[in-house]
Amino acid sequence: MPIEVKIPALGESISSGVLSSWKVAEGSYVEVDQPIYELETDKITQEGLAEVAGVISFLAKEGDEVEIGASIASIDDSASKPAAESPPKEVEAPPAEEPESKEEPVPLPEEQPASAAKDQPVAPVKAEQDAPPHSPAVRKILAETGIDPATVSGTGKGGRLTKADVLAVAEGSSKPPSSNDAAKAQPVPSRSPEPEGRSTRRALSPIRRKIAARLVEAQQTAAILSTFNEVDLSAVMALRKRHQDAFVKQHGVKLGFMSFFVKAVVHALKAVPGLNVRIEGSDLIENHYFDVGVAVGTEKGLVVPVLRDCDALSFAQIEQGIVEYAEKARSGGITLEDMQGGCFTITNGGIYGSMLSTPILNPPQSGILGMHAIQERAVVRNGEVVARPMMYLALSYDHRVVDGKEAVTFLVRIKEAIEDPARLALGI
């Protein structure tokens, strides 16, 4: 009896998803625990595994939005596994064509030497399908441009058409671009653009719809305000340079900038606990833990996995956690548990070249720190103008529960910790 493949429950807030792809072919034999489909929801992308072995039949197609509990396929567990097929006999393939520069060109009939025409008997004309073909590159260009090969003069050996000959005609010249006579050639009329190819309509993915809804929710429900500062990365960069090799050798991961900022955020949250809060209805919830979310960009959208208890983590553990989350996020293996909770978020637009931005809160959190690109800028130190690696920082916060004094003090504490990393070790 066929066993139904149903969409499992993935969380209280997830009611449906999009069947983004099938991992197996229709009618194929699947093994137990073999990935058979990929479901994209508004929070995560989840792979579905076969619960039994057998032949699979699809009941839904890729791109369908399916409800939790819906049947999308059936597996006939009574079907026997097909025997391993013997390797097919090798079919003698025609000789592979060599690169154009080494191919024996096909002379065009009208370009045969006159002496050859006199001395040789006239051979019957072969059918077009029996003629030696042009090279794959030439055939492709001829098919794409619609150029009649009989109208093109070949410059290859014996008058053979080359890729350059056809491209020259396609670009409006009857000879290769290197020819002195290129300007005299007759141009080929260009094709007018087709209106239907100017735009494409497709539905928003569940993740993108959820991101859009949360951003609008944050803008409409919170009183978002941003404050800015700049930080000198000289001390952190010198520390990284001095200890990077030993750090990698001992921990197997590079010492990046993000671990310093995670630690600096924890340092600032302890100094200004008014940022470590959230609103629930008419209540203010004060957090006494330090779970920090780190935004990770993927092809399907932004996700924010959470590093737990960052006050108890070492620099190496933070770096390892970030690397693991980034790999899971980009491979689609991140889970709901990875992204739940969190009391503060860090987003780094600097990796994409952003100089300055105002990040939007990650509800229900009350603060988010935006990091930006590091640039050498002229600053004054001890009365002298010097070049230093500088970064702009932006703190967006919920002004309903966080006052400006608290926000500015919080950002100054981060600046102090980054410019003097010893504070992170000493807790001052």
Contact 330, 278 (CB under 8 A): no
Torsion angle of alpha carbons 51, 49, 24, 2, nearest 10°? 20
Lowest mean pLDDT among 62-76, 141-155, 171-185: 171-185
The closest alpha carbon to 207, from 328, 67, 303, 64, belongs to 303
Q: How far apart are CA 172 and CA 114, in angstroms?
A: 31
Q: How far apart are CA 50 and CA 370, in angstroms?
A: 42
pLDDT at position 27 over 50 = yes
Lowest mean pLDDT among 39-43, 96-100, 170-174, 376-380: 96-100
Backbone torsion region of residue 343, taken as left when φ is above 0, otherwise alpha when ψ lies between -120 and 50, otherwise beta: alpha
Residue 411 class from Cβ within 10 Å (0-12 exposed, 13-18 middle, 19+ buried)? buried
Q: How far apart are CA 327 and CA 253, in angstroms?
A: 14
Backbone torsion region of residue 397, taken as left when φ is above 0, otherwise alpha when ψ lies between -120 and 50, otherwise beta: beta
Lowest mean pLDDT among 161-170, 172-181, 190-199, 204-213: 172-181
Mean pLDDT of 305-312: 95
Catalytic residues: 399, 403
Q: What are the structural domains of the chain?
A: 2-76 (2.40.50.100), 131-187 (no CATH), 207-426 (3.30.559.10)
Q: How far apart are CA 364 and CA 348, in angstroms?
A: 20
Q: Using 50, 70 and 90 to split pLDDT, how confident is the model at 61?
A: confident
Q: What is the pLDDT of residue 13?
A: 59
The closest alpha carbon to 311, from 201, 400, 168, 427, belongs to 427
Stated as kind and residue range, the H or E segment containing 187 is none
For 243-301, the pLDDT digits (tens) are 999 999 999 999 999 999 999 999 999 999 999 999 988 899 999 999 999 998 877 77
Stated as kind and residue range, the H or E segment containing 2 is strand 2-6
